[in-house]
Amino acid sequence: MANLHIPRWLLGMALVLLATLFAKNAYTVSIINLMATAALVAASMRFVMLIGETSFASAAFVGVGAYGAGVATTLLQWPFWMAMLIGPLVATVLSILFGVITLRVKGPYFMLIGFAFAEAARIIFSKTALIGGTSGMVGIFPPRELDAWLPSFVTLVVLLFLFLLYALEKSDFGKVLVAIRDNENIAKTVGINVLFFKVACFAIASFCAGMVGSLHAFVNNVISPGDFGYLLASFALAYVKVGGEGSLFGAVGGALILVVLGSFALGLGAGEQLFYGGAIVAAILLMPNGLHGVVLGLRQKYLRRERGAASQGVR
């Protein structure tokens, strides 16, 4: 059994949750919510990268999660818990259907199909009158008791899913995913059903993407088709690339930093998208393994110096 560092996770979660309790003004609260959902969407994007694929379809599943919450809350008036979960569950089912058909192709082909799927989903959202068409849905409120605690609640849900993805990656299941990325033929020749594992990975990531959508809907109370275009997936990709896809913490770190920087870039108007594009290019040029790679490099340098100092001490 892999060491999951559970005490460290618990401590980290407690500290992060404690910090969210101090957020009282509306701007800080909105940034915390943005950071939390960005972190989960980045982690979801990176989870699919474990099998070596880039999933632009994630944007559609975030949308499905959000509209699930919207429909269940405003049209069906379901209780909060059910409304929160229905979107992610529908996203999972759709992702399995989508994955079984499309995960037979790889790389740029899979990415382009996902891209088309995300755009098709956005158009379907905006053409369906029942869910508000182009103007979207309004009035998706969480229960009143939760209002004061919303940023903490959102952060807690995100942290739980981050831990789930972390534990899955460390498990033998996660190792099979990486093996498929490294060398699919070996996985086949030792009897692993490669398509099954790919679809399972994709479905788990899509459930998380759906959860991001659901949280997004309850946080903003308003959703519109424009929120779920391919740009959303491009942002997620930027988070992962800037943070470094070598580790979950890299992806999460990238999301946190880009959200903070991006909230300044909001003042730039259309420049915001230029900012994100620039961030990806700069990250790939300056730190090919992202922030995670930079941190690893620094740690190695430090360790080497320590060892050097120690051996000199012996002499």
Partner 1 sequence: MADAPEILLQTSGLTRRFGGLLAVSDLNLDIRKGEILGLIGPNGAGKSTTFNLISGFMKPSSGTLQVFGKDCTGVNPTTISRMGLVRTFQHGSYMRSMTVRDNLLIGTVQGLAKAGAAARAKRVEETAEILGIAQFLDAVAGTLPHGIQRLVSIAIAFAARPRLLCLDEPLTGLNQTEVHSTLYVFRRIREEFDCTILLVEHNMKAVMAICDRIVVLHHGQQLATGTPAEVRQDDKVIEAYLGKRHAK
Name every residue whose Cβ is closer than 8 Å to that of residue 274 and which is 6 or more positions away in sequence. Answer: 268
Q: What angle do CA 88, 129, 101 make, to 5 degrees?
A: 45
Stretch of 57-65, 136-144, 192-200, 233-241 lying at the interface with partner 1 (CB under 8 A): 192-200
**Residue 132: phi, psi to the nearest 5?**
90, 0
Q: Does 190 bind partner 1 (CB under 8 A)?
A: yes
Select from 128, 183, 304, 307 the one that contacts partner 1 (CB under 8 A).
Answer: 183
- C-beta of 288: minimal distance to partner 1 in Å? 15
Select from 134, 135, 193, 300 the one that contacts partner 1 (CB under 8 A).
Answer: 193
Structure tokens at 157: 């849900």
Site string for partner 1, 159-178 (x = CB under 8 A): -------------x--xx-x
Burial of 263 (0-12, 13-18, 19+ CB in 10 A): middle
Q: Does 3 bind partner 1 (CB under 8 A)?
A: no
Select from 25, 77, 185, 312 the one that contacts partner 1 (CB under 8 A).
Answer: 185
Q: H/E element holding 222?
A: strand 222-223
Output b/e per residue, 25-43; b: 16+ Cβ within 10 A: eeeebebbbbbbbbbbbbb
Burial of 126 (0-12, 13-18, 19+ CB in 10 A): middle
Cα separation of 213 and 142, whole Å?
A: 14
Q: Does 187 bind partner 1 (CB under 8 A)?
A: yes
- C-beta of 182: minimal distance to partner 1 in Å? 4
Q: Does 182 bind partner 1 (CB under 8 A)?
A: yes
Q: Contacts with partner 1 in 194-253 (CB under 8 A)?
A: 194
If the CB atoms of residues 157 and 187 are measured against partner 1, the closer one turns out to be: 187
If the CB atoms of residues 177 and 212 are measured against partner 1, the closer one turns out to be: 177
- C-beta of 183: minimal distance to partner 1 in Å? 5
- C-beta of 189: minimal distance to partner 1 in Å? 5
Instruction: From 12, 47, 42, select the one nearest 251 (Cα to Cα).
Output: 42
Q: Does 192 bind partner 1 (CB under 8 A)?
A: yes
Q: Contact positions toward partner 1, by CB under 8 A?
A: 1, 172, 175-176, 178-179, 182-183, 185-194
